[in-house]
Structure 1
Amino acid sequence: MAKNLVIVESPAKAKTIEKFLGKDFKVESSFGHIADLPSKELGVDVENDFNPKYIVDEDKKALVKKLKALAKKADTIWLASDEDREGEAISWHLAETLDLDRSKTKRIVFNSITKSAIQKAIENPREINYNLVNAQQARRVLDRLVGYELSPVLWKKIKPGLSAGRVQSVSVRLIVERERDIEVFNPEASYKVVAEFKTVNGNVFGAKLGKSFQTKAEAQVFLNKNAGSLFNVASLDKKLAKKSPAAPFTTSTLQQEASRKLYFSVARTMQVAQRLYEAGLITYMRTDSVNLSGEAIGAAKDTIIQNYGEKYSKVRNYKGKS
C-alpha cells in the first residue's frame, strides 16, 4: 500500500500527476465537491447567522467511503485541489467529511502540472486557507439565497427552467437599464466626407476630411465646390512603429481572444483550457495574474532559440498592477 495519498479534483489530472510521483504515492480524484448544499431545500439557516447545511449526495457516498478507507491506511494525505476558492473549499470539505487527522494532512498547490511544479509543491506544503474557504462559502450561500428564492418566480412569470443568481440578476438589470437609455436617446445626424485619390503614377489611396457637417446639404456644397480640383500632398511622414506582444493571458483575455479569433463560447474555451491544464500543457487558467514562473520563461526562451534563433528571443517580465 502506498504511504502517501494525494487527492485531486479530476481523474484526468490524477493520471497525469501519478506519473510524476512514483510508487510511494497513490493519486485519487474527488470528482469535484464531495459535499454541497441540499438540492431540495434552501440549506441555509437564515436565523442562525446564515449557517450552511452540507450533505454528501447519494452518488458520492461510495467515493467518500473509498477515500476514507485509503486515508486510514496512508501515512500522509495530500490535498491537491486547485489554487482558487473552489479548490480550497474542496480541500476543506475533504478534510471535514473524511475526518482527516490534521497532523498527517497537508495542503499543496501548483499552477502547472509538470514534474518540477508537483515536486516543488510537495516540498512546500501549507495549511488550508480558511479565508478562501469562507469566501467560497459566502459566494455559495449568496447564490442559494438569491437563486433558490428568485428562480421559481421566473418559472411562473416567464419560462420554466430559467435560473437567477447573484451575478445573473445584477447583469440583467444593467442590460435593462442600458436598453432603456437607448430607447430614450435622441440621435443627432452628422456627415463625414471620405475621398479616394489617384496619384500621377496611378496609385490609389483614401483620405478622410478632419471635420463633420451637420447637414447633408452642407456636405454636398463642400463636395460640389471641390469637384474637379487638383490636390497636392503637402507632406509625407514615415515612422518606425514598435509593436509589443500582448501580456500572458488572464482568464478574461483568454476568453476574449478565443471568442474573437476562434468564435468559441466562454464554456467551450474553459472546457478546452481545463483539458490542456490537466494534461500539463498550460498553467492554471483561472487567474488575474500575468506573472510567469522562471521555469516557464526559461522553457519558452530555449524553444524559441532552438527553432528560430537567438535574435528572436527577448525575455519580458510582466507584472500585474496590484
Structure 2
Amino acid sequence: MSKLVIVESPAKAKTIGKYLGSDYVVKASMGHLRDLPKKKMSIDIEHDFQPEYVPIEGKDKIIKEIRSEIRKSDFVYLATDPDREGEAISWHIKELFKLKDKNSRRVTFNEITKQAVRSGIENPRDIDIDLVNAQQARRILDRIVGYQLSPFLWRKVKRGLSAGRVQSVATRLVVDRENEIRAFVPEEYWSIEALLQTADGGRFSARYYGDANGKAELKNEEQAMHVVNAVTGKPFTVGNIKRGKKKRTAAPPFITSTLQQEASRKLNMTPRRTMSIAQELYEGIELGEYGLTGLITYMRTDSLRLADEATAAAAGFIRGRYGEEYYPGKPRVFKTKGNAQDAHEAIRPSNVQLLPEEIRKYLTPDQFKLYRLIWSRFVACQMADAILDTVSADIVCEGQVFRASGHTVAFPGFTAVYEEGTDDEKKQDSAGKPLPRFDQGDKLTAEKIEPSQHFTQPPARYTEASLIRAMEERGIGRPSTYAPTISTIIDRDYVTKEN
C-alpha cells in the first residue's frame, strides 16, 4: 500500500522520510497552497462572512506535483505543523484536492524523532475543525481590518501603509510609551556610598539608608552634604547583623515568548531570527552517525507542560552528571497560565543526552547557541534550588545608618547549569557580593565617602524582548505572531530601532 505524507517544509520532509522508510513518500507543501486572493476583499460580509479561497499564485508546480503523488497513493497523511495554522493548511489541502475521509487523515508530531514520528503515524485523527475555524476567523478579521482600514490610511497618511489586527496594537504600545517618556519630569535625589575597611583589612561598600527614625531620602545636595559632614572622620560601628538562607528556584522551561525574550537578552537575536533557527532545530539537523535528527520539540507553544518521559530522562541525566543532591527528588511541574491554549509541550530538547558541546561541530554558531540555551533551561528547570547564605548589616556613625548586604553561594543547585537573564540591568548588578567577616560592635574605618547626584529616569523604551513581554501580558497576539508582528512594524518604519 503506497502512502503519501504531506508536511510543510522540505527539511522536515527529509527527516520524516528517513524515519518512515521506503513505504512512504514525503512531500512538502511549502506552507499554504490556498488563500484569499490578494487583489480583492474576497469576504462576503453580507452572507455570514463567507471566504472565497483560490490556489496561491506561484504554487502551480507544487500543486501539480502533490496532485500527481496523491493519484499514485492509497492513503494520504496530512502532517503539517501541530498548531492552528498547520491545522488550517491540512484542511485547505484536503479541500483543494478533494480528499475523502476514508483515505486521508491528520497526524501531528510534537518533536521530529523516530519514536514521535512513528507514534504520530500510528495515531491519526480527523482534522480539528474548531482549530481551522479559529484560524479562518483570524484570517478573515485580518482581511476586513486590512482592506477597509488600509485605503483610509493611504488617503489620510501615506500610500503603502497597512493596518493590522495585531501590528496596530503593538505600534500603539510603542507610541504610548514614547508619550510617557516625553511627558516625564525628572526629580533629583542623592545617594551616599561609604567604602569601609575592617580591622583585618577586609573592604566593602555600604550605602546610606537613613537614621534612627528609619529610611530617609536625600532630595538635594544640601541634605546629602549634611550627612557627609556629620560622618567624615568619625568611626563607623557595626550595628544589627541579619544572617539567613535564601532559596532560588529555576525558571520554568521555555515557551515561545520567553525563548524570544531570553535569546534577545543573552544572544542578541531578533525574534524573527530566533524562530527561524528554532524551526531548523525542530525540523532536523544532520548529526554524523546519528543522521538527520530533530533536536527540539515544537517551538510555537504557550504551555509549560513537560512529557513524563522527558522529566524522567532529565532526572537520570542530572543524577548521573551532577549527583543525587542536585535532583529535587521528584519532577518539577509548572503551572501554565489560564488563557494558554496548552496544545503542545514546553520547548525542550528531544533528547537530553545530546549535549550541546558534543554536537557543536554539526551546528552553525547560531544553532549551537540557541540549542545550548534551550537545553540548559530545560535541564535547570528540573534541578534542585540554589541556596544562598545572605547577610545584611547596618553600619552606624553619628546616628546615620548605612546598609551593606551580600551573599555567598552555599549550594549552587540549578545555577550550575543556567541562570535566567533580566531586562533590568540594575537588578542584575545589585545581586550582592560576599562581605568580609565582621561582628556586631566591630569598629570600621571609612576610606572614602562619596555623595552622588541622580535624577529619576522615565520608563525605558521597549526592546524587542520587553515589547513581546508587554504583548503577552496584555493578551495581544499569539506565540506564532510575536516575531512577524515586530518584524512588520520595524520593516514598515512604523517604529524604528535605535542602539
Both structures adopt the same fold (TM-score exceeding 0.5): yes
Are 2:233 and 1:219 equivalent residues in the alignment? no
Q: Which residue of 2 aligns with 1:150?
A: 149
Correspondence 1:133-144 to 2 at 5 A: 133-144=132-143
Tell me how far 1:99 sits from its aligned partner.
Answer: 0.5
Given that 1:89 and 1:136 are in contact with CA atoms closer than 8 Å, whether structure 2 keeps it comes out as yes
Correspondence 1:68-87 to 2 at 5 A: 68-87=67-86
Counterpart Cα distance in 1 of 2:121 and 2:315: 27
Unaligned residue ranges in structure 2 (runs of 5+): 210-215, 285-293, 339-499
Q: Secondary structure at the match of 1:234?
A: strand
Q: Which residue of 2 aligns with 1:89?
A: 88
Q: For each residue in 1:76-132, what CA deviation from the matched residue of structure 2 results, as whole angstroms up to 9, or x when unmatched?
A: 211111111101100110110011011111111121111111121122221111111
More relative contact order, 1 or 2 (CA 8 Å, 6+ apart): 2
Q: Which residue of 1 aligns with 2:488?
A: none
Correspondence 1:182-261 to 2 at 5 A: 182-210=181-209, 211-261=216-266
Q: Secondary structure at the match of 1:241?
A: strand
Counterpart Cα distance in 2 of 1:133 and 1:74: 25
Which structure: greater strand fraction?
2
Q: Which residue of 2 aligns with 1:26?
A: 25
Correspondence 1:46-125 to 2 at 5 A: 46-125=45-124
Which shows bigger deviation, 39-48 or 286-295? 39-48
Which structure: greater helix fraction?
1
Given that 1:79 and 1:106 are in contact with CA atoms closer than 8 Å, whether structure 2 keeps it comes out as yes
Correspondence 1:167-182 to 2 at 5 A: 167-182=166-181
Q: Secondary structure at the match of 1:264?
A: coil
Which shows bigger deviation, 189-198 or 177-186? 177-186
Tell me how far 1:4 sits from its aligned partner.
Answer: 1.2
Counterpart Cα distance in 2 of 1:226 and 1:147: 66
Which shows bigger deviation, 248-257 or 134-143? 134-143
Counterpart Cα distance in 2 of 1:231 and 1:158: 65
- Structure-1-length-normalised TM-score: 0.91
Counterpart Cα distance in 1 of 2:100 and 2:45: 31
Which shows bigger deviation, 201-210 or 267-276? 201-210
Q: Which residue of 2 aligns with 1:292?
A: 306
Tell me how far 1:255 sits from its aligned partner.
Answer: 0.5
Q: Which residue of 1 aligns with 2:296?
A: 282
Counterpart Cα distance in 1 of 2:162 and 2:245: 53
Counterpart Cα distance in 1 of 2:64 and 2:9: 18
Correspondence 1:31-42 to 2 at 5 A: 31-42=30-41
Q: Which residue of 2 aligns with 1:266?
A: 271
Counterpart Cα distance in 2 of 1:275 and 1:208: 49
Tell me how far 1:69 sits from its aligned partner.
Answer: 2.5
Q: For each residue in 1:184-228, what CA deviation from the matched residue of structure 2 results, as whole angstroms up to 9, or x when unmatched?
A: 344433333332222223322122223312332112212212222
Q: Which residue of 2 aligns with 1:320?
A: 336
Specify the code of the residue in structure 1 equivalent to 2:302: D
Counterpart Cα distance in 2 of 1:276 and 1:136: 25
Tell me how far 1:67 sits from its aligned partner.
Answer: 1.6
Q: Secondary structure at the match of 1:192?
A: strand
Specify the code of the residue in structure 2 equivalent to 1:255: Q
- Structure-2-length-normalised TM-score: 0.60
Q: Which residue of 1 aligns with 2:437?
A: none
Counterpart Cα distance in 2 of 1:187 and 1:310: 52
Q: For each residue in 1:217-261, what CA deviation from the matched residue of structure 2 results, as whole angstroms up to 9, or x when unmatched?
A: 112212212222211122434433332222110001100110000
Counterpart Cα distance in 2 of 1:160 and 1:261: 38
Q: For each residue in 1:122-149, what CA deviation from the matched residue of structure 2 results, as whole angstroms up to 9, or x when unmatched?
A: 2222111111111111111121222233
Tell me how far 1:48 sits from its aligned partner.
Answer: 2.2
Which shows bigger deviation, 28-37 or 163-172? 163-172
Q: For each residue in 1:47-75, what CA deviation from the matched residue of structure 2 results, as whole angstroms up to 9, or x when unmatched?
A: 22222211112321222222223223322
Q: Secondary structure at the match of 2:244?
A: coil
Q: Secondary structure at the match of 2:81?
A: coil
Q: Secondary structure at the match of 2:304?
A: coil
Specify the code of the residue in structure 1 equivalent to 2:7: V
Which shows bigger deviation, 44-53 or 112-121? 44-53
Specify the code of the residue in structure 1 equivalent to 2:62: L
Specify the code of the residue in structure 1 equivalent to 2:332: R
Which shows bigger deviation, 133-142 or 57-66? 57-66
Q: Secondary structure at the match of 2:162?
A: coil
Relative to structure 1, is the Cα distance of residues 263 and 157 closer, same or farther in structure 2, using a 3 angstrom cutoff?
farther
Counterpart Cα distance in 2 of 1:174 and 1:303: 43
Specify the code of the residue in structure 2 equivalent to 1:172: T
Relative to structure 1, is the Cα distance of residues 310 and 21 closer, same or farther in structure 2, using a 3 angstrom cutoff?
farther
Given that 1:193 and 1:212 are in contact with CA atoms closer than 8 Å, whether structure 2 keeps it comes out as no
Counterpart Cα distance in 1 of 2:114 and 2:197: 62
Query: RMSD in angstroms over aligned alpha carbons?
Result: 2.2
Unaligned residue ranges in structure 1 (runs of 5+): none
